[in-house]
Amino acid sequence: MEEVAHHYELFGGVSPLTALTVRQAEGLQRRLAERGLPLRVYVGMRNWHPYLADTFAEMSRGGVRRAIAFVAAAQRSYSGCLQYKENVVEARDGLVKAGLADVDVTYVGDWHLHDGFIAANAEHVQEALARLPGAAGDDVEVVFTAHSIPVAMAERYPYEQQVRDTAAAVMRRLGRPGAPVVVFQSRSGRPEDPWLAPDVCDYLKEAKGRGVPGVVLSPIGFLCDHVEVLYDLDVEAADVCRGIDLPMARAAAVNDHPAFIETMTEAVLNVVERYAGGRPLPVVKP
């Protein structure tokens, strides 16, 4: 906990996550209105204000009875998707216990290969390539990073393959042939438990040993430049690169790039169109 607190101290004590998420939500609300669907967009967080439970209470008191949910994670895993859905169930249970009306929730489908998401990431990689100090050309590596998860979890979810599929799509958009380089960051948990590898810092040292002239780090598994991205890449990975004299530039996450806002918009509109003739059937557990 003390180590993580130090990470926050380096960036003014506050993560940009909430502010960036709110900007994404505001962009989505504007774009939906422009597309003829003036829906209010709410933000609910797991670990900070506005908490999911408070957001659902606000929605219920405001008369909302049905909602479309956009989970802010491009690739599906337990911690990046299912856990949030479990939190939504808990928040809805809280409505019932508080005597408030329930809010029915329908989730958008997968969008990790949506053209807007790929385009936003590719544009940010191109910008980083242009900033890369002292290195250029096809020998420069684009290194995609995603949050590491336990191997046991990765075996049960499509997370790793979806990360690689997203990275491959960005490379195609960039016109760079070959398999993408995918590494992982932000590992936590017990040291004896295997997690997805290689770690980004370990990979950078190995790349230098192979004579790679420079790297661009693209946080393909994240939607915002929040503390984990800022610390793990802009501090730790950057320190490694300086120590081994490896030129590095970091591509921005998609944040509120217009192409990503369009991805969110189309994901929501797809749900609206799919169920225009009737409500979705509930999932009934056996």
For residues 185 and 101, state if they share a domain: no
Task: State the residue range of the domain holding 159.
Answer: 115-250
Sequence-separated (6 or more) residues with CB below 8 Å from residue 254: 117, 120, 121, 124, 223, 260
Tens digits of residue pLDDT in 141-193: 999 999 999 999 999 999 999 999 999 999 999 999 889 999 999 888 777 88
For residues 120 and 173, state if they share a domain: yes
pTM of the model: 0.92
For residues 144 and 71, state if they share a domain: no
Average pLDDT over every residue of 1-15: 56
For residues 22 and 148, state if they share a domain: no
For residues 119 and 241, state if they share a domain: yes
Band (pLDDT 50/70/90 cuts) for residue 285 is very low
**Does residue 286 fall inside a structural domain?**
no
Distance, CA of 16 to CA of 20 (rounded, Å)? 6
Q: What is the CATH number of the domain that holds 215?
A: 3.40.50.1400
Average pLDDT over every residue of 20-42: 97
For residues 143 and 91, state if they share a domain: no
**Does residue 282 fall inside a structural domain?**
no
Tens digits of residue pLDDT in 100-119: 999 999 999 999 999 999 99
For residues 231 and 263, state if they share a domain: no
Q: What is the mean pLDDT of the chain?
A: 92
For residues 78 and 124, state if they share a domain: no
Distance, CA of 180 to CA of 173 (rounded, Å)? 12
For residues 203 and 268, state if they share a domain: no
